[in-house]
A and B are shown apart, each in its own frame.
Chain A
Amino acid sequence: MKKPSLRAIGITVVPFLAMCFSVSLWDRIYPRVFGLPFNLFWLILWIPLSALCYWIAYRIEVPQGSSDNSKGAAR
């Protein structure tokens, strides 16, 4: 079985560092941002940032032009 590319895995590890393992760094109420407690703001911020990371990984795994081709995706 072919393996996922290391670069693609690397970029998807970033959200894990930000939202999971670093919890003790950002789990606090202050500074409040847009009225939100900081921990909630931080997690909300990382929803679109994670999607961005996954999209970059998608670009790495599925080169432009082959996105609708099943063979291209499952190389």
Chain B
Amino acid sequence: MSNSVVALTVIFAIIIFGSIIGFYAGVRHKMNLEQWTVGGRGFGLMLIWLLMAGEVYTTFSFLGASGWAYSRGGPTLYIIAYLTLGRAVYFHVQPYIWEVGRKFKMQTQPDFFERRYGSKYLAAFVAVVGFVFLIPYLQLQLTGLGIIVGMASFEGISRPVAMIIAFALVAGFVFSSGVRGVAWVSILKDALMLFVVFFIGFGLPYIYFHGIGPMFAEIIKAKPTHLVLPGATKNMGHAWYVSTVFMASLGGLMWPNLFATSFAAKNASTLRRSAVVMTTYNVILPLIFFVGFTALLAVPGLKNGDLALLALVRKTYPAWLLGVIGGTGALTAMVPAAYYILTAATLFAKNFYRPMFAPSMSDDQVAKLAKRMVLVVTGVALYFAIYSSTTLVYLLLIGFAGVSQFFPGVVLGLWWRRITMPGAFIGIVVGVATASFLMLTKRDPFMGINAGFFALCLNFLITVGVSSITRFQPSGFRESSEASAAG
């Protein structure tokens, strides 16, 4: 058997094994809308932890983080910082989202906005914005999966075909699993990921340089500025770092799917504990950087840094090991992708289509429409994955710039009684418009700072400003709140 056949066989064996787990975990529970979206609100620490790890540690950290270590150098450090600091926001905000979510039976992020601000138009707008900015994240996962299939085939499978295979795998996985199935496949994914990351994170620097210290010594000799900011870039200096880390830390919980994870928890302290525990998961990130840095000297000259990890693995290890590592990478793409698709499809059906066009739809019909939307959502991401060449990390930053615009509306909505619907609405519109304009016209970083951060500041000022001059509205969270919920 040729190398590509061996590698692809192992990859597909891992994918099939994962899909079987997801399928069986999924069919054991009857799938109504609530079960499909928030898993029946009974998730304990273990499942929440797996669900969040499954979504956060994706092909972005696997291929993207090593890719940036390879192509950008210093700027990749922002990833350790934002993933660690983001947990502080989870810690403080998520329990309160959970609390109102339970009280008012919320399933999605727009449900939160609708209840707080009493406007289905704001909720529908939040759904659309969430939907749009989930696409680049989904594109990221499909692109990563396509890269894995392509590299494992030794370029025998062309990029568009690899992307279409990725599309079919992911869509099939979503149909068979639902949210509970996805959480269980995370167990397999995380176990494999931990094993692979330790294996290659220590192994590759050792094979090429006899250790991590000597590896850095060689890089310092060859490219003295690569390891500090702005690394190999011109415009990602300290101001970019601070603004990006800050924006991404605040924005992390604003991803519609992660926001909705709050609702799946059994209780609030589960969420707080998982925020503490999840922080420790970040110790795997430096190991992934080590791989990217090793590749910098061992496989120089790659046009696309996102290929660095797999190119180095392919050069170093036998084909079956490339298969194991590629299969692990494939699961790290499929598990989160499934979850993003599920979220995007539900947002569209439940918070945009039904309230705007078909108010009489039943929950079951919404669930059916959401399932049909899965193919549309994945298809759109497939289109972008085939035709765009943005790096994996930058795709993530585009998504962050968009979803972090929900932050003022969520946090001020929880704790500032004076915030009004027009304030929150106009704030998000301005924030999203500013971030999109700056990124689409290639003005990011803008004057050295992250475009999403700039937009977030503007958004915040406008939310507060407009709220101050519009008429006071009582918070939707106060109605029907019992005396015990001392606000």
Interface, chain A (partner B; CB < 8 A): 1-4, 8-9, 12-13, 15-16, 19-21, 23-24, 27-29, 32, 34-37, 39-40, 43-44, 46-48, 50-51, 54-55, 57-58, 61-62, 66-70, 72-74
Contacts and interface: CB of A to CB of B under 8 A. Distances in A.
B77, B241, B245, B266 interface centre (most CB from chain A within 10 Å): B77
B143 to A, nearest CB: 27
Given A20-B249, A35-B211, A40-B289, A27 B74 contact: yes
Nearest to A46: B84
A30 B487 CA distance: 51
Nearest to B240: A23
A61 to B, nearest CB: 6
Contact of A19 (B85, B214, B217, B267): B85
A70 B269 contact: yes
A67 B92 contact: no
Tell me what chain A mostly uses at the interface: helix, strand, loop, or mixed: helix
Given A35-B212, A36-B216, A44-B80, A74 B74 contact: no
Given A23-B242, A58-B276, A74-B99, A37 B227 contact: yes
Contact of B266 (A9, A62, A70, A72): A70
Contacts of A12: 88, 91-92
A47 B216 contact: no
B238 A1 contact: no
B32 interface: no
Nearest to B282: A47
Contacts of B238: 23-24, 27
B359 interface: no
B80 A47 contact: yes
Nearest to A15: B85
A13 to B, nearest CB: 8
Contact of B80 (A2, A21, A32, A43): A43
A62 B279 CA distance: 18
A40 B92 contact: no
Contacts of A46: 84
Which 6 interchain pairs have the tightest Cβ spacing? A35-B213, A70-B267, A73-B269, A73-B268, A12-B88, A51-B279
B275 interface: yes
A74 to B, nearest CB: 4
Given A29-B227, A74-B99, A34 B85 contact: no
B415 interface: yes
Interface in B69-95: 74, 77, 80-81, 84-85, 87-88, 91-92, 95
Contacts of B415: 1, 3
Nearest to A57: B91
A1, A9, A39, A57 interface centre (most CB from chain B within 10 Å): A1
